[in-house]
Amino acid sequence: MKCQKCDKQAVFHITELEAGEVRELHLCEDHARAYLNQAETAPDGESEPQESTSAGGALMGPLGVGQTADELAALDQKACDMCGITFFEFRNQGRLGCPHDYVHFEKELEPLIANIHGATTHTGRRPSRAAAGLPEGTDELTGLIGLRRSMKEAIGCEDYEKAKEDRDAIRALEDRWLGPPPA
């Protein structure tokens, strides 16, 4: 895809939502830098940029890049209590670390899920976890992840008694779900 302002390859694809309208911009690196710099500072030194129409016909509107970058930086540091994954890692990898992440990052994930799937609630059939020997809810699975993390931390701190207790609790849960290991 070509830049909307020149014949170079578009490498930045910006989607803006303003007053319910969706506006997509496809810009090369140079024009994207100019667009973002124009959006950050207004000609009169005001915090809001002046709106203008570009040669490509795209409306240049306000974009709170500085504020958004600060919010995103703070959000990137937010980490799950159970598995330790940060929102930055999720954004880069595209996958979450544990079922608890859906609860921990709910506010951030809900618009993403709604955008991808069109809804935030599941409709349709669900596989039976009981047939696989696993619990129906995610609370026990989340607890198992927490126990594994606790065990790793105890080993790191050389608290082997705590690590042994966590190991035994993990084995008890796995034995209950999957049955005892073969002898």
In a domain, 53, yes or no: no
In a domain, 125, yes or no: no
pLDDT-based confidence at residue 31 (cuts at 50, 70, 90): confident
Per-residue pLDDT for 106 more than 90?
no
Per-residue pLDDT for 70 more than 60?
yes
pLDDT tens digit string along 125-179?
777 666 666 666 677 777 888 899 899 999 999 999 999 999 999 999 888 877 7
Contact 14, 6 (CB under 8 A): no
**Domain assignment of residue 91, given as a range:** 67-117
Q: Which DSSP symbol is given to 86?
A: B
In a domain, 77, yes or no: yes
In a domain, 183, yes or no: no
Kindly report the number of other CB atoms within 10 A of residue 102's CB atom: 15
In a domain, 58, yes or no: no
